[in-house]
Chain A
Amino acid sequence: MQPMLSTFPLRKLPFVALKHVIKLMEIDEIVKIAITSRYMESIVKSCCIRIRRTIVSLYGEYTYVGLYNPKYPVFQPSQYTRTGKGGFETLSKTSSSSFSQKLKSVFRLPETSTTLENTRQLFTRIYKLFQCGPFKLMINSSTENIKKTLEIPEFRNFEALILCGQHFKKKQLDEVMEFERENQDLQILEGVIPVDYYHPNLFKYTDVHYCDARWIRLEHLLSIKDNFQIELGMNNLTIPDLNKFLHHWMNSEYELFKFMSIDIEKESSIPLDVLFRGITVLRGYRFGKWKRLISVKSPNTRNRQIMSISWSKSRIDMSTWSIHERPKQGDRDNEPYAPEFEILQLLKQRRVLTLKLERVGDDSLEKQEELTGKIEETNNQLQLRG
């Protein structure tokens, strides 16, 4: 015989108290109570509970919808069971080829639907239940028809599309690249991309992260325009390639990116003379670290006129800033780069004048004197700025 459950007349509580009980429940209990009746579902909705992050992960039998709440325990990808790692509360899991019978009956999902359809329905219900905000869509490389998934209206407004798995096929990647994105991010966090792969839209997502970037070449980098953040993992780019890319950044008439990081071969020291060949570089100190600073050729056409470059044993980090904005790193900020920018402009000016002086023959003494005078004047200005 089942033990008697002690009862509490929840619905007889004043409305404010009833909502308060729900708001103080843990997330899986809230979901369960919402599915007990339409009335309770409406009460849960009226609580306007906010979820920091939501993820829909499509991976065959491991498919789940996860809700993230910092400091909360995690739910194992099986119904309502807890474990203790990560930060996502997983509200559902599919079993073998379809949703488990229990989950289907709990959420009143159609018996015969596919995993994708059931996930869509489950996600829609959860999304309507809470104030979820932006969500991430994670697709595994085992998914054959990525296009079909991306065409589902409920899924297409993702904040970031995350691809994970082992090997990606050209067709799968094309489907992702050809998706009509709108200020959305692409992160291929795990898996191999064919070395001969190319698509003109490879930098069309706002943020782009390729863990395997061995297929990316210098000419691809030259197509970067108006990205926010780019991360390139393992790659075949050389230091001379990066030098050319820095020249391209300086000479462009438009913005390329805000942040960019490129993995480099571990343990090898960067030949700075190659990286900065033909570039006027200044050292600037921010956030307890020396950075190399370079500036654009046409400051009037660019919003971010200065680039800060730093590196570790395995990565080069580049960030671009307006000379008047306070550069940020995590929660901290620091002094704008305006003083360094002025010095960089003077250094560039001196460089140009020196080159001109070298080219002027001995027969033009007047011109020589004029250039020498200008160089001295520039030197004086540089001295004044320390």
Chain B
Amino acid sequence: MSVEPEVPIVQVEEVRENPVLYKIISSDNHVFTISEHAVKLSKTLWDLITNLGLTAENALDNPIPVENVNGKNMETIVQFCERHKYDEEEPEYTNYIREFVLPEWDRQLLSIDNEELFQLILATNYLDIQKLMDYCCRVIGDMAKDKTPEELRIIYGIPTDAEDDALERSASDSPGPSG
């Protein structure tokens, strides 16, 4: 029986280019390195990089602080962006129902508990990453599959009309700011 010689695994992105790297610091002071192509998926981060005038030469010396995103979410976001950095651009949203299949890799990535998913969406919304937003929202939308409206009310924590009305009344009854 012959043994296959061990060969080093070369990642596609590494052979494609010598990437420009940026450093990001999360709210809890974790430092992440992200390539230029990947960071471009976040409109917020890319605008920041452009406005700060960061270049290939000074990028690593000037870490970008992101105070609204913790390390755990940032780790997921960096993984996601690196995975999808060479994807084709998403078609413009036209208000028609869009059909897409959530890839298995991403489904695995987003197999997290609902509280974490909620925080991830907030982070994604802040960083303005369209594709990740689509995928997260799809995971949430999929929770509605084969459920009745009553079950949806429980799953999504949707108050009834009466509860909404009561909430509105109590809000209007409460005293406003004094002075």
Contact = CB atoms under 8 A, between A and B. Distances in A.
A33 B149 contact: yes
Contact of B137 (A7, A24, A36, A52): A24
A26 interface: yes
Interface of B: 93-99, 114, 117-118, 121-122, 125, 133-134, 137-138, 140-141, 143-161, 164
Residue with the highest number of chain B CB atoms closer than 10 Å, among A7, A16, A27, A106 = A7
12 contacts: A7-B114, A8-B114, A9-B118, A9-B156, A17-B133, A26-B141, A27-B97, A29-B145, A32-B148, A32-B152, A37-B161, A38-B164
B97 A69 contact: yes
B158 A13 contact: no
Given A12-B118, A39-B159, A39-B161, 9 more contacts: A8-B117, A10-B156, A10-B158, A22-B141, A23-B97, A24-B134, A29-B144, A37-B164, A106-B148
A24 B98 contact: yes
Contact of B146 (A6, A8, A37, A80): A80
A224 B148 CA distance: 52
A50 B143 contact: no
Nearest to A20: B137
A26 B97 CA distance: 7
B156 A33 contact: yes
Interface residues of A, number: 41
A8 B117 CA distance: 9
A39 to B, nearest CB: 6
Contacts, number: 124
B95 A131 contact: yes
Interface string A166-209: 00000000000000000000000000000000000000000000
Nearest to A19: B137
A17 B156 CA distance: 14
B99 A17 contact: no
Nearest to A40: B158
A8 B147 contact: no
Contacts of B151: 5
Interface in A1-58: 5-14, 16-17, 20-27, 29, 32-33, 35-40, 47-52
A6 B114 contact: yes
